[in-house]
Amino acid sequence: MLAKWPGPILEGNGERLIIIDDHATEDQRNALEKIVSGEDTVELATIFWVINAMTSIRHKTLYLPIKIEADMEARTGLVLVDGVFELNVEPIKNAVTGAEH
């Protein structure tokens, strides 16, 4: 799920997009969408409920291929949803020495 707000979350008016891997079965899709949209919980019990409550724009769920790569030892990773976003993760580097934190 991707979410953003124009200011602090508690002020609302957020925007959310749920993306579920296209390999998920219909039952899996339904269950995941219910959980991530905050419908499968009680008020204030999960971050998903909070996000949903503070969101006024809810885009239609996308079912797309999701590519995930991770190298735990190197502490690097990639999450890619073509045409939507690409996230690359790597260790923070010391600005002076270049050493990884």
Q: Name residues whose C-beta falls within 8 Å of residue 47's C-beta, 6 or more positions apart in sequence.
A: none
Per-residue pLDDT tens digits for 64-98: 999 999 999 999 999 999 999 999 999 999 999 99
Per-residue pLDDT tens digits for 37-46: 999 999 999 9
Q: Name residues whose C-beta falls within 8 Å of residue 10's C-beta, 6 or more positions apart in sequence.
A: 54
Per-residue pLDDT tens digits for 17-67: 999 999 999 999 999 999 999 999 999 999 999 999 999 999 999 999 999
Distance between CA atoms of residues 37 and 53, nearest Å: 9
Domain range list for the chain = 2-64, 66-101
Q: Whole-prediction pTM value?
A: 0.83
Q: Which two three-digit tokens encode residue 41?
A: 């919980």
Distance between CA atoms of residues 61 and 58, nearest Å: 9
